[in-house]
Amino acid sequence: MVARIIPVDPFDLVIFGGTGDLARRKILPSLYRRLADGQMPDDARVIGAARSELDDSGYRAMVREALEEFVPEARRDPEAMARFLECVGYEQIDATGEAGWARLAARMGAGRVRAFYLSVGPGLFLPLAERLHDHGIATPESRIVVEKPFGHDLESARELNANLARHFDETQIYRIDHYLGKETVQNLMAVRFGNVLFEPLWNSQYVDHIQITVAETVGVGGRGEYYDRAGAMRDMMQNHLMQLLCLIAMEPPSRFGADSVRDEKLKVIRALDEVEPADIVRGQYEAGPDGPSYRDDVDDMRSRTESFIAMKLSISNWRWAGTPFYLRTGKRLRARASEIAVVFKDAPHSIFGADRGRHRNLLSIRLQPNEGIELGVTIKEPGPGGMRLVDVPLDMSFAEALGPEADEIPDAYERLIMDVIRGNQTLFMRGDEVEAAWAWTDPVIAAWEARGDVPAPYEQGSAGPEEAQILMHRDNRRWREIRA
């Protein structure tokens, strides 16, 4: 199987915050890899824009260092790196003043796709959008890319949307949720809508419950200040897990197009019921052999922010009424493992006798690492002893099924940036979707703040607080094990 690479049109991409962490870690290495693969044309231009006093050659040196640090050695090809650096330039600009803008305007090529990546804090979205507009740099076809956090609550998200809308049409705005760019997340849609096998069973008549787990081993590291204001709810649940929930629960869109897909996702968010306090577990990691406690990490011994959250959600529509969705995410857990598990109901009648135990089908989609799909089926245990039943996995690891190509799974940013250039918004969040997710999130947070809720401590390297296990046991269910 050889991947077919369709080169994108020539473009000028300006990265505001071009010297920042995201640019160095993700945006520039992703662009380099698209060039090395032949998808980014050699005459494309990538212009870093930031406050630092640098010229083109100084920025190229910084970009080279970033590639050496963040592109694995096996993927670094000196010839492709040289070609990539040729495409790179720099403008020193003042995001809130006038310095540098006329030079940037003069640099922009005619008849090419223009994209502006705002890899900066949300406070700079409006001043940058204004200057792009006032200096005639942004054309009606230009694209603007923004990152999370997209707001801190509904009000701030509305304000950001309104600010961007002053100068850009919704069709020009690309709000990144990098989970949507993950290859396996897209696979979720391929599995659901490319096979006839699953869709007839994809409803509360056959599905007992669905579990979504995004477990991380990292702590909050150097991001304590941001994280302590966000917590797992705002940092992960409101966006990444919500997007996964939408893809797993939405109705089949009529086609794989931006508005058809996003209309269906929006309906899921709007159909979410209010969450009862008893259906939420918040946790905070304690000190352990691998590192200090959460409170030490954020340098606030009284912090009540959660580094773990588990919730039971229900969706009020015909397809899902009666099927609970259990979502959990946390830091410093046992393994880095993200999985969606669709647990089917028991067979209506056991012809082998009631004492044969409970056997259930299960479809697990492993998002990362070890990407793959597992279908749990019940078979007869081999050998004598009558009809003894056992559950076994039909396991398909993408690495085994697809061979070397699976090693080449592109980073989410590679796909997403190329989609920006192609003008395809399907894997980006629409403004109303983001607002709907906040409208669901805000009252949940307000309620626990009003109650003075304190997160439950959990051990590093565990599966989160005991209370999260109880959330499931109470319903006679259990979480899947967290393992890499």
Binding residues for ligand BG6, rule: CB under 6 A, are 216, 235
CA of residue 164 relative to chain centroid, distance: 22
CA distance 331 to 338: 12
Q: Which is nearer to ligand BG6, 265 or 331 (CB)?
A: 331
**240 an active-site residue?**
yes
Q: Which is nearer to ligand BG6, 235 or 374 (CB)?
A: 235
Q: Least distance to ligand BG6 from the beta carbon of 118, Å?
A: 16
Q: Which residues touch 6 (CB under 8 Å, ≥6 apart)?
A: 39
Q: Least distance to ligand BG6 from the beta carbon of 207, Å?
A: 25
Q: Which residues touch 133 (CB under 8 Å, ≥6 apart)?
A: 167
Q: Least distance to ligand BG6 from the beta carbon of 463, Å?
A: 17
Q: Which is nearer to ligand BG6, 216 or 279 (CB)?
A: 216
Q: Least distance to ligand BG6 from the beta carbon of 258, Å?
A: 22
CA distance 33 to 28: 9
In this structure, are residues 326 and 309 in contact, taking their beta carbons and an 8 Å threshold?
no
**Residue nearest ligand BG6, Cβ-based:** 235
Q: How many CB atoms lie within 10 A of CB 48?
A: 31
Q: Which is nearer to ligand BG6, 183 or 235 (CB)?
A: 235
Please identify which of the residues 152, 178, 240, 473 carries the catalytic annotation. Answer: 240
CA distance 207 to 359: 14
What are phi and psi for residue 173, nearest 5 degrees? -100, 125
E strand spans, 133-175: 143-146, 173-175
CA of residue 27 relative to chain centroid, distance: 15
Q: Which is nearer to ligand BG6, 333 or 421 (CB)?
A: 333
CA distance 481 to 126: 45
Beta-bridge partners for 212: 327, 340
In this structure, are residues 389 and 109 in contact, taking their beta carbons and an 8 Å threshold?
no
Q: Least distance to ligand BG6 from the beta carbon of 235, Å?
A: 5
Q: Least distance to ligand BG6 from the beta carbon of 84, Å?
A: 23
Q: Which is nearer to ligand BG6, 368 or 469 (CB)?
A: 368
In this structure, are residues 482 and 213 in contact, taking their beta carbons and an 8 Å threshold?
yes
Biggest CA–CA distance in the chain, Å, is 83
> What residues are labeled active site?
240
